[in-house]
Amino acid sequence: MKKADQHLENKLRRVELLVLDVDGVLSDGRIYISDDGREIKAFDARDGLAIVALKRRGVEVAVISGRYSRAVEIRCSDLGVELLFQDVSDKLDVLKKILKQCNLSPESAAAMGDDINDISMMKYCGVCATVPEAHPAVLEVADYVTSRAGGRGAVREFSELIMKAKGMWKY
């Protein structure tokens, strides 16, 4: 294993909370609006399985979105994600509250984001990841860039890395 990989693995091993952005991370970032104003998003089933797997293994998962979407509420409810925060203007502020609530340190948190409103939250965490199509400034701060695109298995890829590093991913 390369030295850089070992450094990443050490960071991943400490993760006890994964914080996820929605648009561009849990979804491909496209927002479909129907004629009657309803919003439609597509999620990846494999991301969902990873979120459930993390939680079963004791790694908490939080979702923080800058926008509000009923579809996100339903998806998170399906996956048992109770730490859902929508219509958030300051994601770092919400992250700090979650850490306090869960009694966790920033080093034990991992974040995934794809746009500039995710950067402060990502930098605050012990480790952070992004998707290949993220904003260049986000690509610059990320410890890891997934091969998979947002909404297309990126969350699954990073979640598996976390679980592998913690020795809790077996199949």
Residues at the contact surface with Mg ion, assessed by CB under 5 A: 21, 23-24, 114-115
Number of other CB atoms surrounding residue 84 within 10 Å: 18
Cβ-based nearer residue to Mg ion, 26 or 79: 26
Cβ-based nearer residue to Mg ion, 66 or 126: 66
Shortest distance, position 169 Cβ to Mg ion, whole Å: 26
Cβ-based nearer residue to Mg ion, 73 or 115: 115
Shortest distance, position 18 Cβ to Mg ion, whole Å: 15
Measured CA to CA in angstroms, residue 112 lies from 3, 36, 97, 156 at distances of 23, 32, 17, 11
Specify the pairing of strand 17-20 against strand 109-112: parallel
Shortest distance, position 1 Cβ to Mg ion, whole Å: 31
Cβ-based nearer residue to Mg ion, 16 or 114: 114
Shortest distance, position 144 Cβ to Mg ion, whole Å: 17
Number of other CB atoms surrounding residue 52 within 10 Å: 16
53 φ/ψ sector (left φ>0, alpha ψ -120 to 50, else beta): alpha
Cβ-based nearer residue to Mg ion, 66 or 166: 66
3-state secondary structure of 156: helix
- Comparing every residue's Cβ against Mg ion, the nearest one is 24
Cα-flanking dihedrals φ and ψ of residue 61, to 5°? Answer: -125, 130
Query: How big, in percent rounded to 5, are the helix, strand and coil portions of the chain?
Result: 45, 15, 40
Shortest distance, position 115 Cβ to Mg ion, whole Å: 4
